[in-house]
Amino acid sequence: MSKQSKELRSRTTNELRARMAELQKEQVKVNAQVATGTIPKNPYQIRNAKRTIARILTIQREQELKQALETVKKEEKAVKKPVKTGKEAKKV
Q: Does residue 19 surpass a pLDDT of 60? A: yes
Going from N- to C-terminal start, the domains of the chain cover 3-78
pLDDT (0 to 100) of residue 89:
59
- Pair 34, 40: CB distance under 8 Å: yes
Average of per-residue pLDDT across 22-43: 90
Q: How many whole angstroms separate alpha carbon 45 and alpha carbon 54? A: 14
Q: Does residue 14 surpass a pLDDT of 60? A: yes
- Position 59, amino acid: I
- Pair 58, 2: CB distance under 8 Å: no
Q: Does residue 86 surpass a pLDDT of 70? A: no
- Pair 55, 5: CB distance under 8 Å: yes
Fold assignment, 3-78: Helix Hairpins (1.10.287)
- Pair 38, 32: CB distance under 8 Å: no
Average of per-residue pLDDT across 43-47: 87
Q: Does residue 37 surpass a pLDDT of 70? A: yes
Q: Does residue 36 surpass a pLDDT of 80? A: yes
Average of per-residue pLDDT across 53-77: 91
